[in-house]
Amino acid sequence: MKQFYGLIGLLNVAVGVMFYTVNITPTPAHASPGPVVIARRTPASIPATQGIPTRVQVPSLNIDLPVGVGTYNPGDASWTVDATRAYYADASMPINNSNGTTLIYGHAQSTVFETLPQIQADAEAIVTTDTGFAFHYRLSSSKEVPPSDVSVFTSTGAPTLVLQTCIGAFSELRALYSFHLVSIDTL
């Protein structure tokens, strides 16, 4: 009988030592990877409506011009431009309803954007795209900047249209007219 109680006592001691050992085992500094994290799938986004401008209209100034694609020549820092149409600067964002600024420029000539400086507040501009949409804009603001101000190409934020022509006694400045997007029509 004494041997039985002695055995029971030894077993109790052994179990106690085992639990003590388990409890004082330090946690590794770098735990192994846990279970797989179940992430929620982000719902699909709505594709932006966009396109390359093919036509620009400013009804209040009787401006209705075809729009070509103007490219930048790094060699002489020049842009495609002539007196027959307006040009979309391909270094700017395409026309879209998501973000960024689209630059359309034209000569300060009677056949293009000469009357642009006469634009009135809240004037409407309509840009037709090669994808079959008509983007309607309203004039938000205007400013005159030196030719070296190229921030229009890096601006982010709400979709914006900028119409540009030259201004100043010697055309030494660039007049930028910013429009905000109002609506989009499907042609």
Partner 1 sequence: MTLALVFGVSAPSASALDCTISNTGPDSDNTCQSIEDFRCTVDNDNNVTVYNKDGQVAETGDAIGVDNTNAGSATSGDANNSNSTVVEGTIKNNTCVIAAPTTVTPPSTPVTPVTPSETVTPSAATPSGGAGAITPVAAPKTAAPVALPNTSGSSTFGIVASIVSLLGLVALGARFAVATYANIKA
* Contact criterion met (CB below 8 Å) for 132 and 186: yes
Dmax (CA) for the chain in angstroms is 120
Comparing C-alpha atoms, which of 158, 166, 147 is closest to residue 101? 158
* Contact criterion met (CB below 8 Å) for 78 and 150: no
Least spacing, CB of residue 68 vs partner 1, in Å: 12
**C-alpha to C-alpha distance for 159 and 88, rounded to whole angstroms:** 15
When the beta carbons of 55 and 79 are compared against partner 1, the nearer one is 79
Least spacing, CB of residue 95 vs partner 1, in Å: 9
Binding site for partner 1 (CB under 8 A): 36-48, 50, 70-72, 74, 77-79, 81, 83, 87, 89-94, 96-100, 105-110, 112-114, 145, 147-150, 152-153, 164-166, 169-171, 174
- The identity of residue 46, as a single letter, is I
Least spacing, CB of residue 79 vs partner 1, in Å: 4
When the beta carbons of 3 and 93 are compared against partner 1, the nearer one is 93
Comparing C-alpha atoms, which of 113, 96, 124 is closest to residue 176? 113
When the beta carbons of 12 and 71 are compared against partner 1, the nearer one is 71
When the beta carbons of 81 and 134 are compared against partner 1, the nearer one is 81
Pairing of strands 86-89, 63-70: parallel
Least spacing, CB of residue 173 vs partner 1, in Å: 10
**C-alpha to C-alpha distance for 133 and 52, rounded to whole angstroms:** 10
When the beta carbons of 14 and 77 are compared against partner 1, the nearer one is 77
When the beta carbons of 72 and 124 are compared against partner 1, the nearer one is 72
Least spacing, CB of residue 37 vs partner 1, in Å: 7
* Contact criterion met (CB below 8 Å) for 178 and 139: yes
Least spacing, CB of residue 114 vs partner 1, in Å: 6
- The identity of residue 170, as a single letter, is F
